[in-house]
């Protein structure tokens, strides 16, 4: 069966929970959270709703403005600008991409999660705008927004991401959908985290602490997004095993790791305390191994990566958050983290 977008109104649909599949099902599109097949989606929905926040509630960005001008080195300031530019792109393209993706999800309870994620990605874009307005001089803001446009390394990466999403829109085949799904997983699970580690490293040195606080709220949202895409992948493997293609997964992971190392080393360089080309490579490969384990696959770099090179970040963890989870592992929440521990399937 080929992919076709969902009908907006489908009175002849079948809402039988036992027969429902996560894609390629004939549903009425009635959102009934008391009648769901993927019951963990309902739990995740509650967590995502409770995670509501707005950037205006994050205080002290004015102090970051002073720090940005007086306390950051030239290398730190360049990295701050470049990472924000890339994160702005990621959340912008996700805000536009997710409604297209949702058009092919046929479990209403999962589609609700994608609607919340779309809203959260828009909040993240607002957050970056708030950071720039509060921290960076007005004459420099457009340079940061479009830093990727004038740099060959960043432009190549952004084009690659955009093309994978566009390929499915132009040709909605099973393979293109699977690539689209894997790339959503990689974008949420790999591409943000070298940037997050940089902001955490600054905060560990008592620099740009308000920016890092904003980033922590964004990361908390991203971890719920990752949980959702991990679960979608498990359901696809179970319900549509003919679509599951490990060669595609490993090829895409290899490409993503190579690009992320190249991009992050270009932005971060070797003149930031605790961060250098080696730690960037090690951290990225370690992330890839962890992400593959979450979908039941063997590591891509089994003999190269063992320890987290950013041990210094552990001291930043909130006392209410699970140490093993905060920086990279599973969805966490300041009040409800226990409800998601160990979750693999919806």
What's the confidence (pLDDT) of residue 149?
Answer: 83
What's the confidence (pLDDT) of residue 325?
Answer: 38
Residue from 80, 128, 165, 283 carrying the catalytic annotation: 128
- Is 53 among the domain residues? yes
Cβ-contact 232, 181 below 8 angstroms: yes
In 3-state terms the chain splits into helix, strand, coil percentages (rounded to 5) of: 65, 0, 35
What's the confidence (pLDDT) of residue 24?
Answer: 94
Owning domain of residue 81:
39-340
Token digits of residue 303: 């003999």
What's the confidence (pLDDT) of residue 276?
Answer: 96
Please count the structural domains in the chain.
Answer: 1
Pairwise CA distance, residues 147 & 201, whole Å? 22
Alpha-helical (H) ranges within 103-151 are 108-135, 138-145
105 strand-pairing partners: 23
What's the confidence (pLDDT) of residue 197?
Answer: 95
Token digits of residue 242: 């003919």
What's the confidence (pLDDT) of residue 158?
Answer: 87
The domain that holds 58 is classified in CATH as: 1.10.620.20
pTM of this structure: 0.88
Q: Count of CB atoms within 10 A of residue 49's CB?
A: 10
Cβ-contact 344, 234 below 8 angstroms: yes
- Is 263 among the domain residues? yes
Angle at 22 between CA 218 and CA 41, to 5 degrees: 45
- Is 1 among the domain residues? no
- Is 31 among the domain residues? no
- Is 25 among the domain residues? no
**CB proximity list for 246: less than 8 A, separation 6 or greater:** 297
Say how far residue 134 (Cα) sits from the centre of its chain: 24
What's the confidence (pLDDT) of residue 157?
Answer: 82
Angle at 329 between CA 46 and CA 313, to 5 degrees: 115
- Is 172 among the domain residues? yes
- Is 18 among the domain residues? no
For the question of residue 128 being annotated catalytic, the response is yes
**What one-character-per-residue DSSP string does 232-277 give?**
HHHHHHHH-GGG--HHHHHHHHHHHHHHHHHHHHHHHTT-BTTB-H
What's the confidence (pLDDT) of residue 118?
Answer: 96
Residue stretches of the chain with pLDDT short of 50: 318-344
- Is 221 among the domain residues? yes
Give the N- to C-terminal CA distance of the chain in Å, as an integer.
Answer: 24
């Amino acid at each position: 069966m080929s992919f076709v977008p969902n009908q907006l109104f489908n009175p002849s649909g079948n809402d039988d929970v036992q027969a429902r599949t996560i894609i390629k099902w004939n549903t009425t599109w009635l959102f009934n959270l008391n009648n769901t097949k993927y019951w963990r989606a309902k739990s995740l929905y509650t967590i995502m709703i409770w995670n509501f926040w707005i950037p205006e509630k994050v205080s002290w960005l004015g102090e970051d403005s002073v720090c940005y001008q007086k306390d950051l080195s030239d290398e730190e300031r360049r990295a701050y600008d470049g990472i924000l530019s890339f994160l702005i792109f990621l959340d912008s393209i996700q805000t536009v991409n997710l409604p297209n993706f949702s058009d092919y999800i046929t479990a209403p309870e999962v589609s609700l999660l994608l609607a919340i994620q779309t809203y959260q990605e828009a909040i993240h874009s607002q957050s970056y705008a708030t950071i720039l307005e509060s921290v960076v001089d007005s004459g420099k803001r457009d340079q940061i927004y479009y830093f990727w446009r004038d740099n060959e390394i960043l432009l190549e990466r952004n084009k690659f991401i955009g093309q994978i999403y566009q390929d499915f829109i132009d040709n909605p085949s099973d393979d293109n959908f699977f690539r689209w799904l894997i790339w959503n997983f990689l974008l949420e699970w790999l591409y943000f985290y070298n940037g997050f580690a940089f902001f955490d490293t600054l905060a560990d040195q008592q620099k740009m602490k308000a920016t890092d606080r904003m980033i922590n709220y964004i990361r908390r949202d991203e971890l719920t997004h990752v949980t959702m895409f991990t679960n979608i992948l498990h359901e696809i493997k179970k319900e549509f095993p003919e679509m599951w293609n490990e060669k595609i997964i490993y090829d895409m992971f290899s490409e993503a790791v190579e690009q992320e190392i190249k991009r992050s080393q270009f932005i971060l360089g070797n003149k930031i305390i605790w961060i250098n080309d080696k730690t960037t490579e090690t951290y990225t490969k370690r992330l890839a191994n962890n992400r593959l384990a979450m979908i039941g696959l063997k590591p891509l770099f089994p003999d190269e990566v063992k320890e987290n090179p950013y041990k210094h970040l552990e001291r930043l963890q909130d006392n209410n958050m699970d140490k093993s989870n905060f920086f990279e592992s599973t969805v966490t929440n300041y009040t409800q983290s226990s409800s998601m521990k160990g979750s693999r399937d919806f």
